[in-house]
Amino acid sequence: MEPLGIYLPIYPVKGYSMTFPILNGNQVPKYPGIDEDHLVSYARYGNRLRITSVAEFAGDDESLVSGRLKVITDFAHWMCGDALDYANVEQWAGLRPATPATSPYIGRVAAVSNLWINAGHGQLGWSMSAGSGRLLADAMSGESLELTGVSSKANWLIPL
């Protein structure tokens, strides 16, 4: 967008993730979920349980902060007890592209008739991007939209 003179206010939001090997599958949730009281989400991937948490503005810093990881480990102990292998956990931090309004930019770029955008989904990128892509494909092909009003607004954008 920069060569077109369009500034996209999309910022990195840092999130932490830990993937635990499962020792006892009967004590671990079978289905993904979000625990809003503890501000974590979790999903089972075969014999592993992934737990994610924390959203912080840290620029491009992907370093791990032990206090942030402790939030996830404490939740894992609370939810699963000794059903997880805490000694062989994978841990990382990743950056999620987010807009200031938290909703993504979805629509046609006003100045360029054949340029469309679907970006800035933030922490819900994996769950929202496919549906947003479907809406965008429908808009591009002239189909009626099942949803509207899902895009952030910008003066350079004709939002869905």
Q: Are residues 26 and 86 in the same domain?
A: yes
Q: 45 and 65 share a domain? A: yes
Cα atoms in the 13 Å half-sphere on the side-chain side of 41? 13
Determine the pLDDT at residue 54.
84
Are the beta carbons of 30 and 121 closer than 8 angstroms? no
Count of residues in the chain? 160
Pull the structure tokens for residue 93. 């931090």
Judgement on whether residues 124 and 154 belong to the same structural domain of the protein: yes
Instruction: State which of 75, 98, 121 marks the end of a domain.
Output: 98
The tokens describing 121, both together, are 């989904």
Q: Which of 98, 114, 148 is the last residue before a domain boundary?
A: 98
Q: Residues 93, 104: one domain?
A: no
Residue 4 lies in a domain: no
pLDDT at 146: 87
Query: Is 81 inside a domain boundary?
Result: yes
Q: Looking at the domain assignment, is residue 134 inside a domain? A: yes
111 in a structural domain: yes
In terms of domains, do 15 and 94 share one? Answer: yes
Is residue 15 a part of any domain in this protein? yes
Parallel/antiparallel/unpaired status of strands 105-109 and 33-35: unpaired
pLDDT in the model for residue 57? 87
The answer to whether residues 114 and 83 belong to one domain is no
CATH number where 94 lies: 3.30.9.10
In a domain, 6, yes or no: no
pLDDT tens, position by position, 119-154? 998 877 767 878 899 999 999 999 999 888 889 999
Q: Residues of the chain whose pLDDT is less than 70?
A: 126
Domain count, the chain: 2
Which residue segment(s) compose the domain that 84 sits in? 11-98
| Number of other residues whose CB lies within 10 A of the CB of residue 39 | 13
